[in-house]
Amino acid sequence: MVLDREQLAERCVSTSFDKLSVDYEGRKVTFTHSFRDAQGSVLEEFETELVFSELQPRPITAAEARALLSFGLCHSTYVYLAAATRAPLLQVRAGYFSPDELAFFREALAGALAEYFYLADLNLADFRLECCCSETPPPHPTGTHAAATASEATAAPAPAAPPAAATEYAAGPQPAAGTAGEQQPAAGAARRHDQPDRPRVLVPFGGGKDSTLLMELLSTLRADVGWIYYGEWVGSWQVYGKFAKLAAASPAAGVVLAEQNLPSLERLKQLNLAPQLAFQDYTAYVSFYTFASAFVALQQDYDYICVGNEYSANAINTTHPKYNYPVNHQYEKSFAAERAFHAFLRRHIHPRLYYFSGLQHMTELEIAQRFSSLCASKYLHLIISCNWATDDDWCGGCEKCAFVFLLFAAFLPVPDIMAKVFGITAESCRGGSGGGGEEEGTRSGSSSGQVVPGSRESLRGVYDMYDSERHVPVFESLMGLAGHKPFECVGTPEECLAAMYLSYERYGGGGGEDQAAGGGPADCCGGGAAAAAAAAAAAAAAAAAAGGTTMAGVGREEQKSHQGHRCGKKPLPLLLRKHIGLITGKGKEEWDKIRESMQRVAETGRPGVPTLYPDWYSLGAGGGTSGKGTGQAK
């Protein structure tokens, strides 16, 4: 019997994660899920898959199987959300999870799914997770090669506990019990470098500024680094041509692909009990990346998984007005989630794994400044993080595109941003630039109308997004003027206002004909006094991060490359004129706070917020590099 939507709503009481199987020759893991009725009978089954570019030529270990089991549970959210409005129970039958593990997943998945529950007007307290397996391992599942199963992983020795204090620098990866203090490589895998003293770090590939900057920072710390790319469909790496170019230009030794396949997606769309919501957009996506990374780290003998989650990911978007639960679009990137992932991987997957964010103490503005200073000439034309993009082009109409523009506009010339990031040049805008170069700051009518997220039409006639009438509502949303913070991976309204203040000075609004901090006139494409201060503060922080030498030198050279033509005041673009009071008031206030924080880090070499930075990931106060004893957050 084939279910229809009405029958599913009437009969389904739970979604179940039922089993996993590994096809070694095909480098593919298949996860089976189902909808079930009140008696536990299967109503309909669905499969999701994870395809790797490479697997080690050996059976998977118990720890690796455990990572795949954890991935499969998180991946079941693709099926679960199609029926969540009527069946909020998620069950596990693929393998045993202890009460401690279930407690982790309840919190992690509830945080990840909160946005969907909010939009569907559901009570997040109704979300339930239970394990239907006994602690005794079930019979060995079928597969296409001999391997340790997810259930067998429960027999592995209990790993060491994670660091107790999240506010301190945590120790590096610890050996398992009984190893006499020796670092243990993954079973069956040889060390892939000749310098065992260098930390081996796996970095999830995002394609944007954060992971790219992180990779460069890690390389200055002499880490042995590699990428893992998690793709939303098989073949996505080839579709985005910029990805391969960026990876090749980076210091990484290589990239391992982990691409999902959703053969049941169209069927699930037919059954979706909340058709107004695209359920596939609200899954536990970062958890997919995390557990796929854990599996690859074990396979490829990496010790650390370093993500590029910034401090502003801790900010919530809104609170449900009726049920009063917080909603954070970036919950899985928050420090609370980072700490929970870190502890879970070490306790329940393998004690060698060390998960942390290398950008946790940084604001979005500091990340953008460092990228502009250290990475722009090498990577600006290669990054892409627009969530609407289906190829190498940014759409130019979504909040993410507007956010990336406003960040870079605080530090880089607008023509460079429009040309290298968005592919818009002055020649392509002839006859309707929408730019702010006229004496009175007038605009071409071609920049009016509405933006269309996902459509390049949003950039037609636009040569400066700040001076585009159609982009004003998007920026106002980022500024917090249209309700809550957008459900996107963007910074806080305060960070956006601070970035706009720096742009205001770059256009000459704050400095005019005055002398910039570094001497000489204010540079409308290179910064006024505030922008110069931003460069100085971040350059000092960069110097500290590299022991006071390497990164500082790179930063100075890059800054010189951006000292284009000098000029006095330039007419302000539309958006900055419209909100000049807010930008020069609240924006300046927020920038002053960010600058002071950056200066404190540069002076002390210590993050001002809790982090999980390992000892070798030192901020290097006073040119030091050991980092020992510097981890206590203040």
Any residues with CB less than 8 A from the CB of 462 and at least 6 apart, and which?
396, 418, 424, 429, 433, 434, 446, 447, 468, 470, 471
274 and 374 both lie in a single domain: no
224-231 vs 200-204, strand pairing mode = parallel
**Residue that finishes a domain, picked among 324, 357, 390:** 357
Return the HEC string of 296-356: HHHHHCCCEEEECCCHHHHCCCEECCCCCCEECCCHHHCHHHHHHHHHHHHHHHCCCCEEE
- Does residue 549 share a domain with residue 571? yes
Cβ(621)–Cβ(630) under 8 Å?
Answer: yes
Q: Both 57 and 97 in a single domain?
A: yes
- pLDDT the model gives residue 160: 35
Q: Which residue has better confidence, 147 or 628?
A: 147
Token couple for 392 = 């190498």
What does the block give as tokens for 513?
């004909």
Whether 161 and 247 map to the same domain: the answer is: yes
Which pLDDT band holds residue 531 (cuts at 50, 70, 90)? low
Whether residue 625 is contained in a domain is answered as no
> For residue 634, is it within any domain?
no
Among 357, 387, 417, the domain boundary falls at 357
User: What pLDDT was estimated at residue 508?
Assistant: 85
User: What is the average pLDDT score of the chain?
Assistant: 83
Domain-embedded: residue 631: no
pLDDT tens digits, one per residue of 364-422: 999 999 999 999 999 999 999 999 998 999 999 999 999 999 999 999 999 999 999 99
Q: What angle do CA 241, 242, 243 make, to 5 degrees?
A: 90
Do 492 and 589 lie in a common domain?
yes
Determine, yes or no, domain membership for 132.
yes
Q: Give residue-wise pLDDT tens across range 1-21.
A: 689 999 999 999 999 999 999
pLDDT of residue 319: 98
Residue type (1 letter), 447: S
Q: Strand 326-327 relative to strand 318-319: parallel, antiparallel, unpaired? A: antiparallel
The encoded tokens of residue 115 equal 């946005």
Structural domain ending residue among the three candidates 330, 357, 384: 357
Q: Are residues 302 and 401 in the same domain?
A: no
pLDDT for position 149: 40
Neighbours of 193 (CB within 10 A): 10
In terms of domains, do 493 and 595 share one? yes
Task: Quote the domain boundaries for residue 121.
Answer: 5-177+189-357
pLDDT tens digit sequence for 204-253: 999 999 999 999 999 999 999 999 999 999 999 999 999 999 999 999 99
Query: Do 342 and 469 reside in the same domain of the chain?
Result: no
Task: Provide the domain count of the chain.
Answer: 2
Domain assignment present for residue 71? The answer is yes
d(C-alpha 373, C-alpha 420), whole Å: 15
Rg of the chain over Cα atoms, rounded to whole angstroms, equals 25
Residue at 616 is within a domain: no
Helix spans in 200-251 (H): 209-220, 236-239, 241-249
Q: Which amino acid is at 188?
A: G
The answer as to whether 621 is a domain residue is: no
**Model pLDDT for residues 31-73, shown as the tens digit of each residue:** 999 999 999 999 999 999 999 999 999 999 999 999 999 999 9
Residues 137 and 261 in one domain: yes
Q: Are residues 398 and 505 in the same domain?
A: yes
The CA-atom distances, in angstroms, between 214 and each of 17, 135, 298, 530 are 35, 41, 21, 25
In a domain, 523, yes or no: yes
Q: 319 with 326: CB under 8 angstroms?
A: yes
Task: Answer whether residue 584 shows pLDDT above 50.
Answer: yes
For residue 532, the model assigns a pLDDT of 56
> Are residues 442 and 391 located together in one domain of the fold?
yes
**Shared-domain flag, residues 346 and 441:** no
Tens digits of per-residue pLDDT, 264-299?
Answer: 999 999 999 999 999 999 999 999 999 999 999 999
pLDDT tier at 509, thresholds 50, 70, 90: confident
Q: In the predicted model, is pLDDT for residue 620 greater than 70?
A: no
